[in-house]
Structure 1
Amino acid sequence: MTSSPDDSASLAAIADSVTAGLPAALAELGDLVRIPSVSWAAFDPEQVQRSATAVAGLVEGLGVFDSVRISQARIGDTDALGQPAVLATRTAKNGRPTILLYAHHDVQPPGKDEDWESPPFEPTVRGDRLYGRGAADDKAGVMAHIAAIRALVDTAGADFDLGLVLFFEGEEEFGSRSFKNFLLQHRDNLSADVIVVADSDNWDVDTPALTIALRGNVTFRLTVSTLDHASHSGMFGGAAPDAMLAMIRLLATLHDEVGSVAVDGLTSSEGKTPHYPESQLVKEAAFLDGVSAIGTGSIPSRLWFQPSITVTGIDAPTVANASNTLLPSVTVRVSARIAPGQSASDAFDALERHVRANAPFGATVTIDDVDRGEPFLVDTSGWAVEAAKSAMAAAWGVEPVETGIGGSIPFISDLVELFPDAQILVTGVEDPDSRAHSPNESLHLGVFRRAVLTEAVLLSQLNSRG
């Protein structure tokens, strides 16, 4: 049985500590947001190193860890190193469990400055939200862990018995390419009874959520070629098949007339879903007037338990540079989300079969730059899930919702593989209007406070667990 917060420190005392520490935590979050730690290959890696150094300094300042280090691991079988991660460890005492707290300090590219209402790397408060790239995803996750540990120290003392591991990754937004090697390299240090992945969202700004299902992903670059070189569209158009026409026809076969995925071999799964009307989707996804939802089934089932396919990029002449020619080749980036219960390799095989079988006009199809990430279902039968839900209810004043997420966190499958006995909790500091990855990303300040309080209560519970 999990102990209540009153066994070590009252909920009121923990809440007072969290509230008192909030201004400092938000100021430190602002400092982190100012560091443009984009982990993509085309951006300056020194900024990710700066971010790791700043985060390590915050962790060292807690004064409770046996070891704090910045470490890198190899990417796959290459000699190239991944981006720097922060790893801190504290050994459990007196039979207490060990909890690993995960977040990532790297961020997505900002996109165009003109799409932001304030500079992307200048933290700006407007109303009840803090705006900036990484303000929510996921530097707020980093600071939520740090602020919660401060509240634990403040209420339980620095000599607490709970074992703690902090793992703040530096390349989650670039595919976590060295993640598994990092786990293997530090396996003994990362071993824990409970793993909290703070990289998800909440049902709304007033209701917490525990994520229990995540779709996997398959992404690849698709090139369709029909001609050896460009030709005059007036001279040969109508007889010679250009690559753009072939690509459009091919991509159209990926969905049926209502927008559902139409790829044989991509599977769906089933799960309990809460009420979520289409009107809520229209608002949260910012539909234009007159646009309707695609697919069939309940809205949550479409987002959590069915596959989806999105073309996320296309290489072709811009409208400004368009000439009257038939294009010989066109390349797109395809991103597929796959339902829990299907392996990423099976999903890719189904997609590859479909693409090759449906290429029109005898077009040549090339598929490369493939990435795969496994879906995930949380085992909700463990004691840690009940402890987390109890902490959420205490911090938010309402019962949490068990949700799925349409997005993917592929590295969780690596955690499950290497730490099969650990109970994994997927939480977060975001809400439906956080706009992670998009311009005007933001953190709701009330959600942040309640997320910190939730984790502080959970740490207090585990520190008292016999």
Structure 2
Amino acid sequence: MTVLSVDDIRSRVDADFDRILDVLSKKIALASISAHGITGEHMKRSAEFVAAELAKVGIDAQVVQSHNPDGTPGAWEVIGSHIVDPNAPTVLLYAHHDVQPVPDKAAWDTDPFVATTIGDRLYGRGSADDGGGIAIHCGALHALGDALSVNIKVFIEGEEEMGSASFIPFIESHRDDFDSDVIIVADSGNWSAQIPSLTTSLRGNTGVDVTVRSLTHPVHSGQYGGPILDSNTLAAMLISSLYDENGDLAVPGIAADEPVGGLQQDVDEAGVRADAGVVDGYELAGTGSLAARLWTKPSLTVIGFDAHPVDGSFNVISPETRFRLSLRTAPSQRPEEAQAALADFLRARAPFGAEVEVEPTDNGMGWAMDPNAEATRDALEAMREAFGVEPINQGQGGSIPFIPELQRIFPSAQVLVTGPEDPKANAHSPNESISLYGLKHNIITEALLLAKLGK
């Protein structure tokens, strides 16, 4: 079997890069928006395109339609494999071919479905999330060619942006297509376009719907106001009781973790403020490293609040208020445990004895990589060789529920979360883009990693 050096792989990726960009450009043009219908013909065309491109780099790929838990038709998925040696390690490559909608094309500087290169970045919806992941896999497999020394399995999902409702049923019915030693999930990002990262952790998620009630019906605020507080005020008091004076969540039983594998570099506060559009004068809440506050400590957000609009309001005391809390949990904590602790706290802190009803919503487990796994060491070494700099690993504050599900179903597999994004990618937002420098070096990294895993 051919053995390739780092320079060999770099030269192959350089020579193939125009083809890779053409593949990515054609993928962007397909406008595979799963929110427009995961069973739609546009999603089938997208899956067929990806399967055809994988076939060109040696994968025996096919398009299969999944089914939802209730048996109804689900997403168009792409699965495939290339077996080089039954005794060799097996690596599963994951990405997704569906993309986010574009609610307002006017918010874009370019046509979101026409790949447009400006400077070092290629713009278009799905260029980074997750057409970039597909491009990385295709580019790495092409670079290795007949030097590939691991068995490859591929799963390109068709409904990641819609919550992956059929993901678990699909895995359960296609276990052999997923069973592997290492799983590479190319759906995250790097510290910057020039500095690579492994994603070390993902927070879990849970939530509750809360109803606060002080009256059985509305009453006049002039006649009864004073001793009777309106339900909106009581709800605000209840919400504020969840935090201490520093802005840390102060609910017994909700855990907080430190960054997995240690913190190599804290997140830049100025960058966070600029990226999030934080107003001048607002002080960031919480204590500890900013990285921990963003990645591994719990966060609670009021994502819905039912109240009478200002326009058309009148002088009555609101009898009942309903709001929804979204809780991002520490990677190590079971979301059901955190949800129960939150519900118990809310019921016990009812302001002035108001009625507080708590209804649980969905749960998703967090995830943390094994920093000492052999595959982790191989990935970091591949990043150093490809980018020529030391990686800076990072957690993610968001949740990708299927990753812990994969780990649960295949507990012996080592999971690596990589990806094409960087802080300027604007995934899910107008002017989404991918760094061409980052894309090329991510491809080189994955090719080197696959070569190392084959040893």
Normalised to the residue count of structure 1, the TM-score between the two structures is 0.87
Q: Which residue of 2 aligns with 1:273?
A: 263
TM-superposed deviation, 1:161: 4.5
The answer for the alignment partner of 1:136 in structure 2 is 128
Q: Which residue in the other structure is 2:67 paired with?
A: 73
The reply to whether residue 22 of structure 1 matches residue 53 of structure 2 is no
Mapped to 1, the partners of 2:258 and 2:437 lie a distance apart of: 33
Q: Conserved in 1, the CA contact under 8 Å of 2:254 and 2:298?
A: yes
Residues 167 and 268 from structure 1, CA distance in 2 versus in 1: closer, same or farther, beyond 3 angstroms?
A: same
- Is the alpha carbon distance of 1:295 and 1:372 closer, same or farther for their aligned partners in structure 2, counting shifts above 3 Å? same
Query: Structure 1's 426 and 250: CA in aligned 2 closer, same or farther, altered over 3 A?
Result: same
Distance of 1:452 and 1:309 partners within structure 2: 37
Q: What SS does the corresponding residue of 1:218 show, helix, strand or coil?
A: strand
1:425 aligns with 2:416: yes
User: Is the partner of 1:254 in helix, strand or coil?
Assistant: coil
Deviation at 1:432, TM superposition (A): 1.8
Do structure 1's residue 54 and structure 2's residue 54 form an aligned pair? no
Q: 1:399 aligns with which of 390, 394, 411?
A: 390
The Cα of 1:163 is off from its aligned counterpart by 0.8
Whichever residue aligns with residue 252 of structure 2, its letter is D
TM-score (norm. length: structure 2): 0.88
1:355 aligned counterpart, secondary structure:
helix
Tell me what 2:295 maps to: 304
Question: What does 1:34-53 align with in structure 2 at a 5 Å threshold?
Answer: 34-40=29-35, 45-46=39-40, 47-53=42-48
Which residue is equivalent to 1:178? 166
Aligned: 1:209 with 2:203: no
Contact 1:215 1:305 in 2 (8 A): yes
Supply the distance in 2 between the matched residues of 1:12 and 1:449 (Cα, whole angstroms).
14
Aligned AA (2:450):
L
Is 1:223–1:332's contact at 8 Å kept on the other side of the alignment?
Answer: yes
Q: 1:134 to 1:238 in 2, by over 3 A?
A: farther
Secondary structure at 1:430 match in 2:
coil
**1:228–1:435 distance in 2 versus 1, CA, 3 Å:** farther
The 2-side partners of 1:109 and 1:369 are apart by: 29
Offset of residue 176 of structure 1: 2.1
Q: For residues 371 and 236 of structure 1, what CA distance do their matches in structure 2 show?
A: 39
Task: Give the aligned partner of residue 376 of structure 2.
Answer: 385
Give the direction of change, closer, same or farther, for the CA distance of 1:329–1:39 in structure 2 (3 Å limit).
Answer: farther
Identity of aligned residues (%): 40
User: Which residue type is aligned with residue 343 of structure 1?
Assistant: R
Q: CA 1:27–1:329 in 2, change beyond 3 Å: closer, same or farther? A: farther
Q: Larger deviation: 182-191 or 227-236?
A: 227-236
Question: More displaced, 217-226 or 313-322?
Answer: 313-322
**1:70 counterpart letter in structure 2:** V
Pair 1:408-2:393 in alignment: no
Aligned-partner Cα distance in 2 for 1:232–1:132: 54
* Farther off after superposition, 316-325 or 304-313: 316-325
* Structure 2 counterpart of 1:143, one-letter code: A
Secondary structure at 1:303 match in 2: helix
Pair 1:112–1:368, CA change in 2 (3 A) = farther
| Aligned counterparts of 1:406 and 1:300: Cα–Cα separation in 2 | 9
Consecutive unaligned residues of structure 1, counting only runs of 5 or more, are 1-5
Quick one: distance in 1 between partners of 2:274 and 2:17?
30
Contact kept? 2:128, 2:425, Cα under 8 Å: yes
**Using the alignment, how far apart are the partners of 1:359 and 1:268 within structure 2?**
25
* Matched residue type, 2:263: T
Aligned residue pair count: 451
Alignment partner, residue 3 of structure 1: none
| Partner residue in 2 for 1:86 | 78
CA distance 1:116–1:331, change in 2 (3 Å): farther
The alignment partner of 1:413 has SS state of helix
Asked if 1:256 corresponds to 2:244, the answer is: yes
CA RMSD of aligned residues (A): 2.9
Give, in whole Å, the separation in 2 of the partners of 1:237 and 1:33.
58
**Which of 118, 136, 143 is the matching residue for 1:126?**
118
Which residues of structure 2 form unaligned runs of 5+?
none
Is 1:110 equivalent to 2:130 in the alignment?
Answer: no
Q: Is 254-263 or 203-212 further displaced after alignment?
A: 254-263
